[in-house]
Chains A and B, each alone.
Chain A
Amino acid sequence: MFKFLSVVVCLLLLGACAPTMDGEAPEALKPGVDASFAYAGDRVGHFGFGQDATSIQIAGWDIDVRPDGQGLPVGSGSVADGESLYEEQCAECHGSFGEGVGRYPLLAGGEGSLTDGRPTKTVGSYWPYTSTLYDYIYRAMPFTQPVSLSADETYALTAYVLYLNDLVDDDLVLDQDNLASIRLPNEANFGPDPRPDVANTRCMQNCRDPNLIKIVSEVVSEAPTTLPINERTAVQSQQHPGQATYDQYCSICHNVGVGGAPTLDDAANWGVRLSAGVDVLVSNAINGMSSASGVMPAKGGFVHLSDEQVKSSVLYMVENLAASQ
């Protein structure tokens, strides 16, 4: 009834609510369905937000290079220049011969390994384009100092990595005009995505012979990282002995700083108080104190607390403070 009424009101007032027969929202307004406005064509400057990008601004950020050489800056570098730079800047991770150190990437070798059980994918064995090498070295290397190399240094390192892969002679001088002409051996082996490339069917019964099912690999699991609910009590019982007292009594003021009480995330405030030593802090908490920075009633006013409970709570606060730093 309510729905009917709202539809009528909607029609009367707006005329164009267009509810569907069953009262659902129109398709475009359903949650999860993209609003149905397609590319509207050029509306250049329709909103007019932002600033026009100047050619100098674009040049500062436009670092990308394409396989056809578009984007390569003017510059040059030789294999020989690259060798010394490489030893200085790259060998620590990639190895002197591009063999890789630890789990850092190999840069050379692996030719003919792509159909092996364990293929070795390097610039020489796998990468399709030389431009990618230049582009990546400049934008991301050396790992700890990206975009720190000059164009000449980047050309030189590109030349040297090509040389490590036996793809160029040692007298190569690489520059913006010849880089794109150096083709890599695996280029022709890349092609488009043909997926979906498998066609399973939705069988429901007798889909396979149960006698042919065998476990071919299994990972023996360690103990579950997640404790079942009934085992979590053990974790709870390991809480700091002072926490219960803190939670029940002291937190009332110290969680939020009532009466100048230092909160657990106020390290500076605690630092001053701790400078006199924890014993003084405990003594003040038990016996009470008053200063310009705040008032601490004896045992926070909860005089039934034992000295030990108060001390324990103070230690909890101090340790919790340390844990949050």
Chain B
Amino acid sequence: MSQRELDNLINSIAQAGHRVSGVERRRFLKSGLLMVGAAASATSVAGASESVGVPPNIPPWSKRLGRGVVSHPYGSPSPHEAHVQRRTVDWLTADRIASISFTPLADLNGIITPSGIVFERYHAGVPEIPPDQHRLMIHGLVKRPIILSMDDLMRFPSQSVIRFLECPANGGMEWRGAQMDKLQFSHGMLACCEWTGVRLATLLEEVGIDANAAWVLAEGADGAHMSRSIPMDKALGDALVVFAQNGEMLRPEQGYPLRLVNPGWEGNTWVKWLRRLEVGDKPWYHREETSKYTDLMADGTSREFTYVQECNSVVTSPCPEKPFRVKGKYMIQGLAWSGRGKIKHVDVSVDGGVSWHQAQFTSQVLPKALTRFALEWDWDGSETLLQSRAIDETGYVQPTYGQLRQARGTNSIYHKNAIHTWKLSPQGIVTNVQIS
């Protein structure tokens, strides 16, 4: 930079309205010249653009103004995180309207899944519902059938809970063998959010249920009118009619403006775009609780109303998306969850299940919520079979593939919660394997 250019710079700043005193001007000139010198030497020494922010260089972003307030009135992640996206697997479904996408678990931290990357499951796409036009009808075996607007609904007492949401088909592609090449696809039909809503019990108290009331049909306002039968114990237990997620109104993908939340139960029962609750004395046996979301056993019989998502866990670092680079100390990290309550322990094996080491919890341990664990480990660079095994507060121990197949065969599709194995190669590459 020549003196003339520097003068031009100073002039331009002055023209832009800045007041530059003589002292400041001289100081500016001096530091400007110093910076020019530093930049030149940095270039000659390092010769690589990636060192631009590394000491002793002063990075360019420290030498200029950044964006002002409300330049992004609703903020987005850094552009450097653009790879953190929901992804789908096209061969799983016929189209993208009745389909599923996966949460990028490898890039998550803590136990809350940001709303924009919670996995999606639609049976007829996302309806666009103006909230002032949305209604919830509650009828059937009730004393006072009612229709609630969103304003009505939000006047009821509400509460907020952090609970995981999991599609019962999570990992369902792997009953017969390892098939998905990434953590996102092997375990990504999973999320955990804070949900805010009205207890379904509160609404049922308000309408008054008949003595023979035993089930509630929940139905969506989407084109599929997705419907599930919910037993009264759950409806009067911890079920919530939810309007908010992670502090803001539900995302359209998650049921805006209203959805059911059945903590610990399969995601399909968390009916989105909830428009109707009918109280009855028997279940309805609708399509998503007969043709789908029933578990076919090896002997040809099927289990119906298999609601609970049993205790499960997976190592999220390392994983195929997060390989190791060098030998040395690592924290093996992962997620554990149980639809029956809190996680009690998580154990990690680095020898294919011969020996196990109790991991530490690195998050809050909440009931029916994702829970973080970690174990310090010194990788010597040899091939390793990594596993995690969760135990919940009921004493249930996450099973092996062998135990699950012994009990159910390989045609079940749903509720696969087997201990998962990653193979870490000497190059640090992680692949999805199943072991004998």
Q: B7 — nearest CB in chain A belongs to which residue?
A: A304
Q: A102 — nearest CB in chain B belongs to which residue?
A: B94
**How far is it, in angstroms, between the C-alpha of A147 and the C-alpha of B276 when the chains are bound?**
16
**How far is it, in angstroms, between the C-alpha of A103 and the C-alpha of B99 when the chains are bound?**
11
**How far is it, in angstroms, between the C-alpha of A213 and the C-alpha of B383 when the chains are bound?**
13
B278 touching A62, Cβ below 8 Å: yes
**Which chain A residues lie closer than 8 Å to B364 at the CB level?**
31-32
Interface with B: A9-17, A41-49, A152-160, A277-285, which one?
A41-49
**How far is it, in angstroms, between the C-alpha of A44 and the C-alpha of B203 when the chains are bound?**
9
**Which chain B residues lie closer than 8 Å to A244 at the CB level?**
60
**Which chain B residues lie closer than 8 Å to A303 at the CB level?**
8, 11-12, 15
A221 touching B320, Cβ below 8 Å: yes
B residues 66-87 in Cβ contact with A at 8 Å: 66-68, 70-71, 80, 83
- Most A CB within 10 A of own CB, among B11, B161, B278, B287: B287
Q: B184 — nearest CB in chain A belongs to which residue?
A: A225
Taking a contact as CB atoms closer than 8 A, the residue among A132, A186, A219, A304 that contacts B181 in the complex is A219
A226 touching B107, Cβ below 8 Å: yes
**Which chain A residues lie closer than 8 Å to B313 at the CB level?**
none
B322 touching A226, Cβ below 8 Å: yes
Produce 1/0 per residue, B211-238, CB < 8 A to A: 0000001010001110100000000101
Interface with A: B23-31, B112-120, B149-157, B327-335, which one?
B149-157
- Most A CB within 10 A of own CB, among B146, B204, B357: B146
B207 touching A220, Cβ below 8 Å: no
Does B9 interact with chain A (Cβ within 8 Å)?
A: yes
A residues 41-60 in Cβ contact with B at 8 Å: 41-47, 49-53, 57-58
Does B307 interact with chain A (Cβ within 8 Å)?
A: yes
**Which chain A residues lie closer than 8 Å to B353 at the CB level?**
207-208, 213
**Which chain A residues lie closer than 8 Å to B238 at the CB level?**
34
B145 touching A49, Cβ below 8 Å: no
Taking a contact as CB atoms closer than 8 A, the residue among B94, B282, B354 that contacts A210 in the complex is B354
Q: B385 — nearest CB in chain A belongs to which residue?
A: A213
Does A163 interact with chain B (Cβ within 8 Å)?
A: no
Residues of A within 8 A of B (CB): 31-35, 38-47, 49-53, 57-58, 61-68, 93, 102-104, 114-115, 117, 119, 121, 123, 126-129, 131-132, 135-136, 139-140, 143, 146-147, 186, 189-210, 212-222, 224-228, 230, 232-233, 235-237, 244, 247-248, 251-252, 255-256, 297, 299, 301-304
With contacts A186-B302, A248-B60 known, what are 12 further pairs, Cβ within 8 A? Answer: A46-B205, A49-B156, A67-B285, A68-B282, A121-B291, A135-B286, A190-B290, A193-B303, A212-B436, A215-B436, A217-B178, A219-B178
